[in-house]
Amino acid sequence: MPILVIAEHDNSEIKPATLPTITAARTLDRDVHVLVAGENTQQAASAAAAIHGVTKILHCDNAAYANGLAENLAKLIVTLAPSYSHILAPASFFGKNVMPYAAALLDVQQISDVTAIENEDTFTRPVYAGNAFETLQISGTPKILTIRPTAFDAVRAEGGAASIETVQSAGETGLSHFVNQELTKSMRPELTAADIIISGGRALGSSENFTALIEPIADKLNAAIGASRAAVDAGYVPNDYQVGQTGKIVAPNLYIAVGISGAIQHLAGMKDSKVIVAINKDSEAPIFQIADYGLVGDLFQILPELDKALG
Amino acid sequence: KILVPVKRVIDAYVAIRVKADQSGVETANVKMSMNPFCEIAVEEAVRLKEAGTVTEIIAVTAGTAQCQETLRTAMAMGADRGILIQTDEILQPLAIAKLLKAVADKESPQAILMGKQAIDGDHNQTGQMLAALLGWGQATFASKIEFGDGVVTVTREIDGGLETLKLDLPAVITADLRLNEPRYASLPNIMKAKKKPLDTLTPADLGVDITPRYKTLKVTEPAARKAGIMVESVTELVEKLRNEAKVI
């Protein structure tokens, strides 16, 4: 049986988190199909068809899926489920929202946030904020998994030539209604897909300091900006900047933590980064225990120096 | 009437230890507390009651006899009564959702308000599964909740920012961290909570099959990072990042 990947998209573009999910699906050596459900999604369906290693796109263009409402999308997934051995989605806010709803309708226990696929029924996932890893074996079909995007490489977004098959809408449930969205506008790379991230904590002291001290460095490094929960709660940056167990899980090549002490919950979101730099005035801060390079000092002196040193 | 499921977990500030035989995480003699997201759900329910929107708050949990303490904590925060579904079996999210559905069928609440995830299993599934089993709408990762006439408007956290949904009641809502700041239970309220009603049921009473669907083969520690170095200056840091780590 083939594997179905539920694409996360904004109707025109396929979101980056979908690509590692396809890589995860391909480790099982079966045909991989991708569901693109939404409204006015011709462009997203074409983009999905070009993804390397995908054999078929299931395309469902209907107002019921315009805003990714979980109830409607889960119902559609349930109608498609009998043809698939595994159904995967990225463990983003999108995948976490819809997949358990579909799993319960199918009477299946979902496996969340998978970081390794051992074989078709054995998977590894983090528990306790990434302080332990559980390897488990599940029986029954289909297997519903959400995939931690940072744990798998992204598949190439081009070079594929999948067929596109139109599928029927499963109808509106009418249980929930979309009102509006307020997206944080940013010209920077998306946090979960960025090569370099510079994150600030409460020690920055204000929103103005974030702008004055962090942004110029992020500009020079083409980095995304992240934050600790303390910085978000203090209102220095919007909450979708938060890195951690309850925010976003990131694993960039370089993570620069500025004025972040390194609570368990923050580390859960970034400790798989390739290189970690910590800048903190407290030499005892837990962040130094996982940092590859640590610099003890006052961030108000260090950040302008760093900005200058980067030319 | 509102139902608030709560969970007893290892305290969020405890550094956990994986057992040497890889069978799980050490829980003997470890400090246990209410899951932080559940506290936020209880707090929100209590605020809704204080505002006159909610008339009765029922806290419910599933697990061992010690989970009574978690219900007492919820009652000390302001829940009116508690229901313990007592079992020594390991409960996976689908089983918990089925137990909660059975309680919801008996109690017919207008809303179920719960945490978005437990900090032990980190599954982030139970609320969504419960909504699906009940055939209700869901609003996950809520950072703002406003009840209206037969509807609830919820602002939820999503990857790029915020989103607002309107749901018909009854509905399931899962709380994110920013929904509120939970209160501490005062000593008089802790004393009062001891007298509030607490019913104990079993999964068999509710007719729910709680057989685990997956088997844990092993629990392991994450790979340790190799020790880092301290640099003395910004110049040295930039030099290392350029020439040693080659990341900029």
For A32-59, what is each residue's pLDDT tens digit? 999 999 999 999 999 999 999 999 999 9
Query: What is the mean predicted confidence (pLDDT) over B39-59?
Result: 98
Cβ contact, residue pair B218, A93, below 8 Å: no
Q: What value does the CA radius of gyration of chain B take, rounded to a whole number of Å?
A: 21
Pairing relationship of beta strands A122-127 and A132-138 according to DSSP bridges: antiparallel
Structure tokens at B30: 């470890």
- Residues of chain B numbered 205-234 and touching chain A (CB < 8 Å): 213-222, 225, 228-234
Q: Does B14 touch chain A (CB under 8 A)?
A: no
Give the nearest partner residue to B230 out of A221, A276, A294, using CB atoms.
Answer: A294
CA–CA gap between residue B32 and residue B70 (Å, rounded): 9
Interchain CB contact of A163 with B (< 8 Å): no
Evaluate whether A128 touches B120 at the Cβ level (below 8 Å).
yes
What pLDDT, in 10s, does the model give residues A166-209?
Answer: 999 999 999 999 999 998 888 899 898 899 999 999 999 999 99
b or e along B42-74 (b: 16 or more beta carbons within 10 Å of the residue's beta carbon)?
Answer: bbbbbbbbeeebbeebbbbbbbeeebbebbbbb
Does B55 score more than 90 pLDDT?
yes
Inter-helix orientation angle A70-80/B126-134, to 10°: 80
SS3 A37: strand
Q: Give the pTM.
A: 0.95
pLDDT attached to residue A147: 98
* Residue B226 in this model has a pLDDT that exceeds 90: no
- Name the residue in chain B with its Cα closest to that of A220: B248
Put simply, whether A244 touches B (Cβ < 8 Å) is no
Q: Which residues of chain B from 45 to 104 reach within 8 Å of chain A, CB to CB?
A: 92-94, 97
Chain A: residue nearest B176 by CA?
A246
Residue B128 has its nearest CB partner, among A97, A126, A302, at A97
Whether the CB of B182 is below 8 Å from some CB of chain A: the reply is no
**Closest C-alpha among A221, A167, A179 to residue A59:** A167
Kindly tell me the burial class for residue A238, based on how many C-beta atoms sit within 10 Å of its own C-beta (0-12, 13-18, 19 or more): middle
A71 to B137: CB separation less than 8 angstroms, yes or no: yes
Q: Does A238 touch chain B (CB under 8 A)?
A: yes
- Residues of chain A falling short of pLDDT 70: none
- The span from the CA of A148 to the CA of A88, in Å, is 11
Which domains, and CATH codes, for chain A? 3-166 (3.40.50.620), 191-309 (3.40.50.1220)
